[in-house]
Amino acid sequence: MTTENSEKNYRDGKRFLKEDNTDKALRAFEKAYKEDKENAAYMSYYGMCAALRGGEMGMGLELCTKAIKREFHKVEFYINLGKVYMAVGNKKGALKVFKTGLRFDPNNSEINNYLVELGFRRKPVIPMLDRVNPINKFLGILLRRTIPGLIKKKV
């Protein structure tokens, strides 16, 4: 059951993460999670910190996955699980999780940054032609960069 103390620990943990203090964040999320083991947010963040800082990859994957099963619409949970997959070295798993998270928030800049970092590429415009084919390159630039840029300028 969520208490004021567990909520305070959770907020502190998020603040510590923003300050890049993973040790303190891990302790804060652990306290919050131990007070309320049913809260999906506590579960997800504690799992991520336990994996990234504590080296407990198995527990991190388990808690983050469990949190997503409870509240599948929260994009931040997909980001946390993706970070754990990246730490484990499972690029394919991270890509899959990040793509799933994009279904709920297609414009999420954090997920898009991770996809770029992982080297994610969209499918070629004309799949039967090679990616480096000049026609595919031209159409890709036109459809994915130029036209969306023109539409944004008009709005």
Q: Domain coordinates of the chain in residue numbers? A: 4-120, 123-155
With tokens 């959770």, the residue in question is 10
What pTM did the predictor assign? 0.77
pLDDT, one tens digit per residue, over 20-72 is 999 999 999 999 999 999 999 999 999 999 999 878 999 999 999 999 999 99
Q: Report the SS3 class of residue 128.
A: coil
| Predicted pLDDT of residue 152 | 62
C-alpha–C-alpha distance, residues 26 and 32, integer Å: 10
Length reported for the chain: 155
Question: Which ranges of the chain does DSSP label H, i.e. alpha helix?
Answer: 4-18, 22-35, 40-52, 57-70, 75-88, 91-104, 109-118, 134-141, 147-154
Structure confidence at residue 148 as a pLDDT band (50, 70, 90): low
27 alpha carbon, distance to own chain's centre: 21
Determine contact, residues 24/56, Cβ cutoff 8 Å.
no
Residue 90 has pLDDT above 90, yes or no: yes
CA distances from 56 to 17, 66, 102 (A): 18, 15, 27
- Determine phi and psi for 125, rounding to 5 degrees: -60, -45
CATH class of the 4-120 domain in this structure: mainly alpha
- The answer to whether residue 141 scores a pLDDT higher than 60 is yes
